[in-house]
């Protein structure tokens, strides 16, 4: 039997902004029992990567466990991989932030664990060839990606052991392929299945080297795995089985491998991630087609050859699939430029940069089998750190008016800031207000998410609620748990859930029609371009936007002009809004006119989240769906955020309120997630020829005693 070498690499991560109880549970069910088991088997050597957000938490909250890790590193049983400090997708970052994320984490690991970082874990194994230069400039010698990356480049399964050299602009990086086969075996199959795979590899090649690299949460943190891995003894059995193969199987680390072996060859890899990620990055229709092709391949004798050349999407296209992710990304770049402009010797540079780096944590920028972008608390954390970084950089905030292409679509947006708020307006998209930041609490009150179709919604519509399914399987194979009642809320939006959204619709339309996304728009104002005109006065900034469009009356579209004016003074978290609607036709126009506001609150129905009407009467929690008739004021109170947002207007009107609930996918199954609350101020208007109707709205943010 030829000698076979095995690298076991585990990646442990909890995102910035995750709940403390999630850190605790992952620690007690996965990280701690794994290290305690490993400690019993000193001949088992592994490689670990902990994201900086997790390792900082362990250092502070679990010092004994951190010391256990340090002792395992010190005795040479564990090699530590570096990475971006707060687990960014490297290709998402400007080059300066790539280098700084890697450098700062390498220094932290040196200071706290005494390691000299040579290799790096790439978040979600997202690879682009330009990373070679970035990693080498950061002092990194090697990394690991999935073997699917190599297969997409044309290599076959039997060629994928050892490591390869890859190059960009003369810089050379060592890169290891990690076995997808082992990723699905460990820890779900009997250890003997892993041994059989390794024996077969050893029969083909002398000194074969194979890599297992995947999430450490699989060992106790994923559904059903704690009992399987620890209570039923899988991990101890696995380690014992590996130790018993000492005559032909040796566990080594990445650093040992590059010292002991020559590279297998040279390779240039295509842009890629692991197979499942590339499927998730496709648009919904593309996922359906991908699944259809994959299924059709299954019955072909040459399927194993063809699969190498079937590649899904590109990670960057999550920003196309989810416009909210794109806006968050664009906002991150804006703040990154501000931090980069600071004097590095100033006392605010490092704290501001750290906040920026936390805001670059990858999880909230995409969505697959994990909640990711769909989890409001993760998006909230991104904006909290972005706004904190920005506040540090703007040490002397002042009122300002800027017109730039903030969201990178070649169209200019308008940003109005004073010491208390930032307000971003999109004239090109209905004149919407798409971001509203309250700086003292570092909160974006428009951190919303629209309801949109997902490929997995077919399972919600077609499957009975089956639970998690039988057996111990990878999270990618588990039968999902389907929360009760999801089919009844599965509706989709045709526009982004922002504010100052102008609706014209039939008077007979109902709240249910609006909630279900089934209102017929009579006007062409919802997302169409408005013409902006901004001016800066001594005590305030004024943004005027107008559109000459049409209103459907019967079968004819009649001319109509909508003007809206926004005023922000130099000191207060108050926005004054005025609407003017002018009938340009020779006929009387009748319609319901609604102005939609959306707010991202911390919860819909938790204690301390509720509506107040004008007389301060509580009117129900924020996940309420209701109509309040003939009102002039309403407030949303979120004691979790410590904020109250009030709208006051004249003339009186009916108010429709409803929650934004998405049906999303996570490791626990399909579930309803509260994304925010929608308010629609609704007037029935009648306009005689050449007449004008108007309203004024005052929007104010106040602090309340937090929970």
Which residues are known catalytic residues? 124, 215
| Per-residue exposure over 71-99, b if at least 16 CB sit within 10 Å of its own CB, e if not | ebbeeebbbbbbbbbbbbbbbbbeeebbb
Omega before residue 651 within 30° of 0, cis: yes
Q: Where do the H-state alpha helices sit in 157-245?
A: 180-185, 191-204, 225-226, 234-243
Contact 248, 5 (CB under 8 A): no
Residue that has been written with the tokens 């990646």 in this structure = 11
Q: Residue 695: what are its φ and ψ, rounded to 5°?
A: -150, 155
Angstrom distance (rounded) from CA 625 to CA 628: 10
Please report the sign of the dihedral spanned by the C-alpha atoms of residue 18, residue 52, residue 78, residue 257: positive
Sort strands 531-536 and 540-553 into parallel, antiparallel or unpaired: antiparallel
Taking Cα atoms as reference points, which of 675, 670, 643 lies closest to residue 659? Answer: 675
> Residue 84 CA to chain centroid, in angstroms?
17
Angstrom distance (rounded) from CA 542 to CA 576: 9
Q: Is 630 left (phi over 0), alpha (psi -120 to 50) or beta?
A: left
Burial of 60 (0-12, 13-18, 19+ CB in 10 A): exposed
Strands (E), 302-431: 400-404, 413-417, 421-426
CB atoms inside a 10 Å sphere around CB 238: 22
Contact 118, 140 (CB under 8 A): yes
């Amino acid at each position: 039997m030829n000698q076979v070498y095995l690298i076991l690499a585990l990646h442990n991560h909890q995102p910035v902004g995750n709940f403390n109880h999630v850190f605790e549970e992952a620690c007690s069910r996965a990280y701690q029992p794994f290290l305690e088991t490993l400690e019993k088997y000193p001949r088992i050597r592994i490689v670990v990567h902990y994201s900086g957000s997790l390792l900082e938490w362990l250092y502070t909250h679990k010092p004994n466990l951190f010391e256990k890790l340090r002792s395992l590193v010190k005795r040479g049983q564990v090699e530590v991989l570096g990475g971006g400090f707060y687990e960014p997708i490297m290709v998402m970052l400007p080059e300066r932030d790539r280098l700084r994320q890697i450098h700062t984490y390498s220094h932290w690991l040196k200071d706290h664990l005494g390691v000299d970082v040579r290799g790096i874990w790439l978040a979600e194994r997202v690879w682009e060839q330009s990373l070679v230069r970035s990693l080498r400039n950061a002092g990194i010698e090697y990394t690991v990606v999935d073997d699917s990356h190599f297969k997409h480049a044309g290599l076959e399964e039997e060629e994928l052991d050892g490591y390869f050299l890859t190059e960009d602009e003369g810089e050379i990086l060592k890169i290891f392929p990690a076995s997808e086969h082992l990723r699905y075996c460990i820890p779900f199959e009997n250890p003997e299945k892993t041994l059989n795979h390794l024996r077969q590899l050893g029969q083909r090649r002398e000194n074969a080297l194979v890599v297992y690299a995947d999430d450490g949460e699989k060992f106790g943190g994923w559904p059903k795995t704690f009992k399987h891995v620890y209570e039923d003894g899988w991990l101890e059995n696995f380690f014992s089985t590996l130790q018993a193969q000492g005559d032909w199987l040796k566990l080594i680390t990445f650093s040992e491998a590059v010292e002991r072996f020559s590279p297998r060859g040279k390779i240039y890899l295509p842009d890629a991630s692991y197979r499942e990620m590339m499927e998730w990055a496709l648009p919904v229709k593309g996922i359906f087609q991908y699944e259809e092709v994959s299924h059709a391949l299954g019955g072909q004798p040459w399927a194993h050859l063809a699969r190498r050349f079937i590649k899904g999407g590109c990670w960057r296209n999550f920003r196309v699939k989810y416009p909210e992710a794109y806006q968050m990304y664009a906002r991150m770049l804006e703040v990154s430029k501000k931090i980069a402009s600071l004097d590095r010797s100033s006392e605010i540079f490092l704290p501001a940069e750290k906040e920026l780096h936390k805001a670059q944590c990858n999880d909230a920028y995409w969505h697959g089998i994990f909640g990711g972008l769909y989890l409001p608390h993760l998006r909230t954390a991104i904006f909290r750190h972005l706004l904190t970084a920005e506040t540090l950089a703007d040490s002397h905030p002042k009122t300002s008016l800027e017109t730039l292409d903030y969201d990178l679509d070649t169209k200019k947006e308008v940003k109005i800031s004073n010491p208390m708020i930032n307000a971003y307006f999109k004239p090109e998209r209905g004149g919407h207000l798409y971001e509203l930041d309250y700086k003292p609490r570092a909160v974006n009150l428009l951190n919303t998410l629209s309801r949109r179709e997902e490929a997995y919604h077919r399972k919600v519509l077609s499957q009975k609620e089956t639970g998690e399914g039988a057996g111990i399987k990878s999270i990618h194979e588990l039968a999902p748990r389907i929360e009760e009642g999801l089919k009844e809320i599965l509706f989709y939006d045709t526009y982004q859930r922002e504010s100052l959204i102008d609706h014209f619709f039939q008077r007979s339309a109902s709240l249910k029609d609006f909630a279900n996304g089934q209102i017929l728009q009579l006007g062409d104002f919802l997302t169409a371009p408005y013409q902006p005109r901004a001016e800066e006065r001594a005590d305030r900034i004024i943004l005027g936007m107008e559109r000459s469009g049409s209103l459907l009356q019967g079968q004819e579209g009649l001319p109509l002009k909508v003007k809206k004016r926004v005023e922000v003074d130099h000191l207060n978290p108050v926005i004054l809004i005025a609407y003017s609607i002018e009938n340009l036709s020779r006929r009387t126009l009748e319609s319901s006119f609604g102005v939609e506001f959306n707010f991202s609150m911390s919860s819909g129905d938790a204690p301390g989240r509720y509506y107040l009407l004008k007389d301060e009467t509580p009117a129900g929690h924020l996940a309420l769906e209701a109509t309040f008739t003939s009102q002039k004021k309403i407030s949303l109170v979120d004691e979790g955020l410590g904020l109250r947002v009030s709208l006051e207007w004249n003339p009186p009107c009916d108010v429709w309120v409803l929650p934004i609930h998405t049906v999303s996918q996570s490791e626990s199954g399909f579930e309803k997630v509260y994304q925010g609350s929608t308010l629609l101020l609704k007037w029935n208007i009648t306009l005689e020829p050449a007449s004008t109707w108007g309203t004024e709205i005052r929007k104010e943010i106040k602090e309340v005693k937090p929970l």
